[in-house]
Amino acid sequence: MRTDGVRSGLEAIYTLASDAIEARGPACWASGNCCNFDSAGHRLYVTGLEAAYTVDRLGDVASAPALTHASLDGAIARGGCPFQLANLCGVHTIKPVGCRVYFCDRGAQQWQQDLSERLLAMVRELHARHDIEYRYGEWRAMLARFVA
């Protein structure tokens, strides 16, 4: 991943996300439902930049499971995320915008959508500023592009 301001730009967006979420104080029950896409009835969509960032930073996160073809295929078969560890996120500190703003708390749905759209516009602008092709797709499909 190019690091000429891209990493710091994405991390600044993630900090804005954290600050906005903390101000709202949504409930998180650590149920793992957010990572089990099929049972929760939702899909996680990310930008190529976010997927590349997560894969690039996997070695920096002690709890991060290795991303392999087998782990990705297993996650798809289970209907979930390859980084889910029991009910927790194994890449919590490096996860994409969609993961950061999604909470099972039904009272958070409207502001989640508004915040997600605002943050994704910032990520899209980061792509443009650094002349990185913008791609947006389902999380596991985007990760598959970076599996060695």
What value does the mean pLDDT take over residues 106-112? 71
User: Count of domains in the chain?
Assistant: 1
| pLDDT of 3 | 65
What pLDDT is attached to residue 121?
96
Beta bridge partners of 138: 45
Domain assignment present for residue 1? The answer is: no
Cα–Cα distances in angstroms (integers) from residue 126 to residues 11, 32, 86, in the given order: 11, 30, 33
93: how many CB neighbours lie within 10 A of its CB? Answer: 11
How many CB atoms are located within 10 Å of the residue 5 CB?
A: 12
pLDDT at 120: 93
Which residues sit opposite 88 in a β-bridge?
Answer: 85
pLDDT band at 112 (very low <50, low <70, confident <90, very high): confident
- pLDDT tens for 11-49 read 999 999 888 888 777 666 666 777 788 887 888 899 999
Whole-number pLDDT of residue 141: 95
Q: Kindly state whether residue 94 falls inside one of the protein's structural domains.
A: yes
Domain assignment present for 86: yes
In a domain, 37, yes or no: yes
Mean pLDDT (the chain) is 87
pLDDT tens-place string over residues 43-57: 889 999 999 999 999
pTM for this entry: 0.88
CB atoms within 10 A of CB 137: 16
Average pLDDT, stretch 83-99?
88
Distance separating alpha carbons of residues 47 and 98, to the nearest angstrom: 10
User: What is the structure's pLDDT at 98?
Assistant: 86
- Residue that the structure tokens 């996997």 belong to: 58
- For 116-133, what is the mean pLDDT? 94
The answer as to whether 56 is a domain residue is yes
Tell me the C-alpha distance between 50 and 11, whole Å: 10
Residue 15 domain boundaries: 6-144
Give φ, ψ of 114 to 5 degrees: -60, -45
**Among residues of the chain, what percentage have pLDDT more than 70?**
88
Higher pLDDT, 114 or 26: 114
Cβ-Cβ contacts under 8 Å for 30 (sequence gap 6 or more): 87, 88
Q: How crowded is residue 16: how many other Cβ atoms within 10 Å of its Cβ?
A: 16
